Structure 1
Amino acid sequence: MTIFRLSPLIKFTLLTLYLALTFPLPLLAQQTQAMDSTVWLWLGLALGFLALGGALSEQVMLDDVGIQVGYPRWVPQWLRPGWSLPWSEIAELNSRTTGQGGLVYYFVTHQRDRAYLLPMRIAGFAQLTRLVQEKTGIDTTDIKPLAQPWMYLILLGFALALVLIEMVTFWSFSPSS
């Protein structure tokens, strides 16, 4: 069995962006006295971080029987249900244009009643498509990942800059003791 996980660059970038956007909220609420207690806000942000971490823990497993997308046991099934598809049921890969102009691909079954999204943000995507081609006979040579690493590096740079600006701002404007 071969297991592919979400790209560490993508995972780290999205978790950093979440923290950059949400971490200042309880600090602002406390500093402006907008809330009596920020405990619920901190708790909500922590739960959101856990939910995002769970969503970003996707695993793609390939074996001789088929392809399966799942999550670790700590991620509740109702939050992120997985799926599995035997190689024998895959008829083709159909492409669809996203709202931003990119292409995503779906496994389509022989009965045409179901379509499953090809995971495209995983580390080892070229190896995944090569294995899919070996198992199904479908040509995957033109399939490229949805987002290139440079896009996530730019986003990571902006998220880290935001964190730095927030730290300087809170340090500069915090009331002196």
Structure 2
Amino acid sequence: MTVKTFPLSPLIRLTLISLYFALTLPLPFLNDFTESPLPTPLLWVGIVLGAIALVAALSEKVILDEEKIQVSYPDWVPSFFRGGWSLSWSEIKELKLRTTGQGGLVYYFVPHREEKAYLLPMRVAGFAKMVKEVEAKTGIDTTDIRPMSQPWMYLILLFFTLLLLLVDLWTISVALNQL
């Protein structure tokens, strides 16, 4: 049995984790600088818990085998936090296009029983290969399916995140020198 795994794109993971730290790391230093009543250790605990939650959310992977498509998370991610799903190839009736509130396009697997639709994961590494595999297993034409966001979008976001991290380093150094 051939099993193919498609994890979330490393570029997307790196960009989003970097952005998280760029937005949160200065907070404890600024908290001390502004003499806020919120205890700084509590901020650090919140940042660490938020980082764990973000890494958990970004640990999604798509597993394809001869029988089904499955979205899952590692065992350390609690099921109440991010539940995965599984759908056998024979259950899939179609891929239905929907527009997002921001004008993007997403696709949902619609099973024959149509009680629930399942979002096609679009931010995985090897998206084109995964879609071709879906087409081979279901017979659904996927030639028009493109990933929701292109790599250049995340490269631009990563560039500006790195600039923000430089500003953060400057902010932290100023805050530490003022204490």
How high is the TM-score relative to the length of structure 1?
A: 0.96
* RMSD of aligned residue pairs (Cα, Å): 1.2
Q: Residue 114 of structure 2 aligns with which residue?
A: 112
> Cα deviation per residue 1:71-102 (whole Å; 9 max; x = unaligned)?
00111100000000000000000010011211
- Partners of 2:29 and 2:175 within 8 A in 1: no
* Matching residue within 125, 147, 150 for 2:149: 147
Shift of 1:173: 4.8
Q: How does 1:1-177 map to 2 (within 5 A)?
A: 1-35=3-37, 37-175=39-177
Superposition misfits of 4+ residues, deviation over 3 angstroms: none
One-letter amino acid of the structure 2 residue matched with residue 133 of structure 1: E
Measure the CA separation in 2 of the matches of 1:65 and 1:8. 27
Aligned residues: percent identity?
58
Which of 1 and 2 has higher RCO (CA within 8 Å, sep 6+)?
2
Find the aligned partners of 2:24 and 2:59 in 1 and give their Cα distance. 20
Corresponding residue SS for 1:108: strand
- Answer whether contact 2:30 2:175 (CA < 8 A) is retained: no
Q: Which letter maps to 2:165?
A: V
Q: How many residues are matched? A: 177
Structure 1 residue 172, shift from structure 2 partner: 3.6
User: CA–CA distance in 2 between the matches of 1:61 and 1:23?
Assistant: 34
- In the alignment, the residues of structure 1 paired with residue 161 and residue 168 of structure 2 have an alpha-carbon distance, to the nearest angstrom, of 11
Shift of 1:40: 1.1
Ranges in structure 1 where 5+ consecutive residues have no aligned partner: none
Shift of 1:36: 5.9
Q: Structure 2, unaligned stretches of length 5 or more?
A: none
Q: Distance in 2 between matches of 1:148 and 1:68?
A: 23
CA distance in 1: counterparts of 2:83 and 2:131, whole angstroms: 23
SS at match of 2:155: helix
